[in-house]
Amino acid sequence: MFYDTTVVQFSKMLQNLSAILDKGATFAESKKIDVAVLLNSRLAPDQFHLIRQVQIACDTAKLGVARITGKTDSAPKHADDETTLADLQQRISDTVAYLASFTEADFSHAATQKITQPRWEGKYLSGYEFLIQHVIPNLYFHITTTYAILRHNGVDVGKKDYLGAMPYKV
Amino acid sequence: MFYDTTVVQFSKMLQNLSAILDKGATFAESKKIDVAVLLNSRLAPDQFHLIRQVQIACDTAKLGVARITGKTDSAPKHADDETTLADLQQRISDTVAYLASFTEADFSHAATQKITQPRWEGKYLSGYEFLIQHVIPNLYFHITTTYAILRHNGVDVGKKDYLGAMPYKV
């Protein structure tokens, strides 16, 4: 369950995010505007801009999987210094590559793994609680917000871009 | 796994959504504007307004659980005629009440349940695929979009309102 729900589905969503960003680039080109305008857009003055939304989406996937597998030290470091679309695409593909380094066996203790963070002041969540109540809602939040920023600016993205292809069977 | 991931977590998120809408009402009151302005707002001219986002969030939870448990006939019908905040709050509480009618045992065949919809032209997904790749991403999409519409209009909502309380242990 953990492997499919994280490595497989998170990778799919990050690839959808990558394709959504490319649609933003195509839009910018067609309107003869600098794509950086979109990358620095936000929905409210005190909300993170698109670049930060993508960074957090990537970190949510990266650190979520690192923490529930107890492999925090294996997570690649990122300086959060992306400024261009190419930088963001690199960040996404680095994250997807990192996720691909996990196997199902890495998740054997995931459900009961004790997860803590400095700001939780010594308190903890189980790996299962952390995944369901924290990681998954956060990942979708930041991908949807990225999508919403582009949508608000006129980029022609739709629900299918967000969900990606479904593995329909006949 | 299925029960916690759907009934428990979806109910939590719908209750968070309800509290977020109440923050919208408080904001409208303080600004002396009709809350209906917020309810009819959208982030793009061809995007659904807030009312429709909440309706779809509720239906995603309701029909998602109904379908993966094979109990589609048990789902309450909704006419999608909500126009006020009170209507939307009723829709949310109806949905939470419906989710509460399920037990863990209802999900015993959920993973392999064949899920299909008229527009899928006879093709199907397993209950597990449907949950992970369709229901969950859609639910968070519509809750986040509702949040984003309010945030864009100046309502003081933050990530804690979206995530809700965490079950921290000492």
Contact A43 B140 (CB under 8 A): no
**What pLDDT, in 10s, does the model give residues A18-27?**
999 999 999 9
Among the listed residues A138, A164, A126, the one whose alpha carbon sits nearest the alpha carbon of residue A2? A126
B166 vs A: CB within 8 A: yes
Identify the pLDDT of residue A133.
98
> Distance between CA atoms of A104 and B10, rounded to whole angstroms?
26
**What pLDDT, in 10s, does the model give residues A25-42?**
999 999 999 999 999 999
Identify the pLDDT of residue B164.
98
B162 vs A: CB within 8 A: yes
Arithmetic mean of pLDDT over chain A: 97
Among the listed residues A13, A24, A8, the one whose alpha carbon sits nearest the alpha carbon of residue A57? A13
B123 vs A: CB within 8 A: yes
- pTM, to two decimals: 0.98
B132 vs A: CB within 8 A: yes
A122 vs B: CB within 8 A: yes
> Distance between CA atoms of A129 and B166, rounded to whole angstroms?
8
Q: Cβ distance A94 to B138 under 8 Å?
A: no
Distance from CA of B121 to the nearest CA of A (A): 9
B116 vs A: CB within 8 A: no
pLDDT average, residue stretch A137-150: 98
Who's near A10: CB < 8 A, 6+ residues apart?
A: A61, A64, A65, A99, A139
The ipTM estimated for the assembled molecules is 0.97
Phi-psi region of B164 (alpha: psi -120 to 50; beta: other; left: phi over 0): left
User: Between A and B, how many CB-CB pairs are < 8 A?
Assistant: 103
Q: Cβ distance B35 to B85 under 8 Å?
A: yes
**B138 class by beta-carbon count within 10 Å (0-12 exposed, 13-18 middle, 19+ buried):** buried
Instruction: Answer whether residue B152 shows pLDDT above 90.
Output: yes
Contact A129 B159 (CB under 8 A): no
* Closest Cα in chain A to B119: A168
Residues in chain B closer than 8 A to A9 (CB atoms): 132-133
Instruction: Answer whether residue B118 shows pLDDT above 90.
Output: no
Element (H, E) at A113: none
Among the listed residues A58, A74, A69, A59, the one whose alpha carbon sits nearest the alpha carbon of residue A128? A69
Identify the pLDDT of residue B133.
98
pLDDT-derived band at A1, boundaries 50, 70, 90 = confident
Name the B residues in 42-61 with CB < 8 Å from any A CB. Answer: 43-44, 47
Q: How far, in whole angstroms, is CA A37 from its chain's centroid?
A: 21
pLDDT average, residue stretch A51-73: 97
Identify the pLDDT of residue A45.
96
Helix (H, G, I), strand (E, B) or coil at B116: coil
**What pLDDT, in 10s, does the model give residues B59-104?**
999 999 999 999 999 999 999 999 999 999 999 999 999 999 999 9
Q: Cβ distance B86 to B21 under 8 Å?
A: no
Identify the pLDDT of residue B1.
85
